[in-house]
Amino acid sequence: MPRLALIPSPFVGAVSWRATAAALPDAIACDYGGVSAPDWYEGVANRIIAQCDARPWIAVLHSGAGGFAPAVAAATAHLAGLVFVDAVLPYPGKSYAETARVDFIAQLRRGTRDGYLAPWNKWFGADPLPALIPDIAAREAFERSLPRVPVAFLEAVSPDTTEWEKLPAAYVQLSKAYDSEAAEAEQRGWTARRAKLHHLAMASEPEKVAALLSGLP
């Protein structure tokens, strides 16, 4: 069976997936070290592949990591499938800023300091982490792992490749915010599983997320 490679959003750390990785029989929480110029997408793909490409594997992409699918699929022949978890869908040939809401990108830019975006939990009016990750130790570990993301990443262009479209794929929706992505996944003919959880459920309810990933794609 292919191994599951649990890939975090570029805006959070690998800690977000560790509890779910521990709840699965053969999974790795990939730590690709964040995004950086000049090879924003290709560099991430190469660092992910270096951790899990010894045999067939499935990329499980959370949130903004959905945008890495084209780069990862183009860089290896061992990738056996894709699972998008509360994730953006791939945008080959475009940037993250081109596909997100204009007001959301403007909000991110307002929080920029010294060329870096604010930490993920500072994007909102109130810190959502206490509600999303009630366990204090888990929440503190998650917050410590939040990366410093260069604002330039918003304009970096994803490789314009098509290998990802040839792979089996599935979608797991954890929160209402990803209704449209889950619907588009179904339109593509992918398996879609929906749960009334929340965007960081892999960190706070790992057994439930592990069960949702079972047998996909």
Q: How far apart are CA 120 and CA 138, in angstroms?
A: 16
CA atoms within 13 A on the CB side of 126: 4
Residues 102-139: tens digit of each pLDDT: 999 999 999 999 999 999 999 998 999 999 999 999 99
Res 32 pLDDT > 90:
yes
What pLDDT does residue 125 have?
85
Q: What is the mean pLDDT of residues 30-57?
A: 95
Q: Give me the percent of the chain exceeding a pLDDT of 90.
A: 97
**DSSP state, residue 91:** -
Instruction: Report pLDDT digits (tens) over 163-199.
Output: 999 999 999 999 999 999 999 999 999 999 999 999 9
Tokens standing for 169? Answer: 């794929």
Rounded Cα distance between 43 and 65, Å, is 13
CB count within 10 Å of CB 54 equals 10
Task: Determine whether 215 is exposed, middle or buried from the number of CB atoms within 10 Å of its CB (0-12, 13-18, 19+).
Answer: exposed
Task: Look at the block and give the residue holding tokens 């800690």.
Answer: 15
Residues 45-70 have a mean pLDDT of 96
Distance CA 109, CA 116 (A): 9
pLDDT score, position 54:
81
Q: How far apart are CA 184 and CA 132, in angstroms?
A: 26
- CA diameter of the chain: 45
The string of DSSP codes covering 165-203 is GGS-EEEEE-SGGGHHHHHHHHHTT-EEEE-S--TTHHH
The chain-wide mean pLDDT, for the chain, equals: 97
Give residue 99's pLDDT: 94
pLDDT at 47 over 90: yes
Residue listed under structure tokens 């594997």: 57
Q: Tell me, what's the pLDDT at 50?
A: 96
Residue 53 has pLDDT above 90, yes or no: no
Q: Which structural domains are found in the chain, ordered by start?
A: 3-213 (3.40.50.1820)
Record the pTM: 0.97
Question: Hey, CA dihedral for 27, 203, 82, 215, is it positive or negative?
Answer: positive
Confidence (pLDDT) at 1: 86
Q: What is the model's pLDDT at position 208?
A: 98
The radius of gyration of the chain's CA atoms, rounded to the nearest angstrom, is 16
